[in-house]
Chain A
């Protein structure tokens, strides 16, 4: 079946503009995550959605970052008033939650460049 998809694959924007990044998780996966991967760095957790529960927003770096998940499926990560330090690859992952150790399946990422 289809994996996690993300759009756009690349986004170039000017400093101060808002951007929206989209994630389509694997069908049936109830958990969805956003990570940020800066050049040559590890994976920085941003936010986690699980079913109808309140999201875990503990990783969002500032109030310019927000995310929503509509209908328990598609998620949008919004960055307002982008700054150059926001330039990174934004990765989305999804997983089942079956009470066991659940693999996270990653999308290919959106490469964001803020000029």
Chain B
């Protein structure tokens, strides 16, 4: 059973638009939620992360929104650029047991059209 469910599988956005990727989880023990960005031929790299004690975290054009009661979190990319075209993975981990073990979503392939 997949611990973290991610949608959509693929996304096409015009340059300057907002890209939104959603993730949902069931295990309330999760307490760390990173997003990773992967370009073709490269390994994933950490983009931004959030802990459940805050509802939003913003870094530049990238924002994570977190809804603890709904057990959902999402990545918003404002003013999307062609250089943002990549695959994005959400993940979750639980610190009190094995906080270095990440459960990844299935990924979203983002294509930003010029």
Q: Whole-angstrom distance from the CB of B43 to the nearest CB of chain A? A: 3
CB < 8 Å neighbour of B89 from A33, A42, A56, A102: A42
Do A106 and B44 have beta carbons less than 8 Å apart?
yes
How many pairs, one residue from A and one from B, have CB atoms within 8 Å of each other in the complex? 58
Do B100 and A48 have beta carbons less than 8 Å apart?
yes
Within 8 A of A (CB), among B35-61: 36, 41-46, 49, 51
Do A42 and B100 have beta carbons less than 8 Å apart?
no
User: Complex Cα distance A107/B102, Å?
Assistant: 16
Do A56 and B98 have beta carbons less than 8 Å apart?
yes
Q: Whole-angstrom distance from the CB of A93 to the nearest CB of chain B? A: 7
- Scan A39-53; emit 1 where CB is below 8 A from any B CB, else 0: 011110100101000
Question: Which chain B residues border A108 with CB–CB below 8 Å?
Answer: 41-43
Task: Give the number of chain B interface residues (Cβ < 8 Å).
Answer: 26
Q: Is A85 an interface residue (CB 8 A)?
A: no
User: Complex Cα distance A101/B32, Å?
Assistant: 7
Task: Give the number of chain A interface residues (Cβ < 8 Å).
Answer: 25
Do B42 and A104 have beta carbons less than 8 Å apart?
no
Q: Is A95 an interface residue (CB 8 A)?
A: yes
Q: Whole-angstrom distance from the CB of A91 to the nearest CB of chain B? A: 6
Q: Is A109 an interface residue (CB 8 A)?
A: yes
Q: Is B103 an interface residue (CB 8 A)?
A: yes
Do B43 and A42 have beta carbons less than 8 Å apart?
no
Q: Is B73 an interface residue (CB 8 A)?
A: no
Given A101-B95, A101-B99, A102-B99; A43-B46 close (CB under 8 Å): no
Q: Which 5 A-B pairs have the closest CB atoms?
A: A106-B43, A42-B106, A43-B104, A101-B32, A103-B46
19 A-B residue pairs with CB within 8 Å: A42-B104, A43-B107, A45-B104, A48-B100, A56-B98, A91-B44, A101-B32, A102-B100, A103-B34, A103-B49, A104-B100, A104-B102, A105-B45, A105-B46, A106-B36, A106-B44, A107-B43, A108-B41, A108-B42
Q: Which residues from chain B sit less than 8 Å from chain A, CB to CB? A: 6, 32, 34, 36, 41-46, 49, 51, 89, 93, 95, 98-107, 109
Known: A42-B104, A42-B107, A45-B104. 9 other contacts (CB 8 A): A40-B109, A41-B106, A45-B102, A48-B98, A56-B98, A56-B101, A101-B49, A104-B46, A107-B43
